[in-house]
Amino acid sequence: MLKGFKDFILKGNVVDMAVGVVIGVAFGAVVTAMVKDLITPLIGAIGGITNFSSIFFTVNHSKFMVGDFINSLISFLTIAVVIYFVVLMPVNKITEKMRSGKRVDPTEKTCPECLSSIPIKAKRCKFCTANVGK
């Protein structure tokens, strides 16, 4: 039972995913701090409100922290913009270049009789001996 668990944990995909999650959380914390400490005061300097987290309203002695929500929303939008422009756009451009690039000549072809893969230069299929030469 423990051997199976150890094999599962040490698979490359699990470790890569764990590293990605840890880096994602750290990145989220950095962006949240940037929004709280840099962007919000900048917006506040322009709009007159220096700290969004102090914005709230009360209903029946319940405090609704609208400012914290605004900070979180700005953090989310900042992360989304960074992911789009730094990750998705470059990956899409690379993928597009790979798809529109020169095609590499295949090294194998399919036998029309038995549908097996055979070398491109073969004149006969090595499986069914059908004549496939040109």
Q: How high is the pLDDT of residue 128?
A: 92
Going along the chain from its start, the domains and CATH numbers come out as 2-101 (1.10.1200.120), 104-134 (no CATH)
Evaluate if pTM is beyond 0.85. no
Element at 45 (helix H, strand E): helix 40-47
- Give pLDDT tens digits for 60-111: 999 898 888 887 888 788 888 878 888 789 888 888 887 776 665 688 888 9
How do residues 17-55 score in pLDDT, each as one tens digit? 888 899 888 988 888 788 778 877 787 788 777 667 778
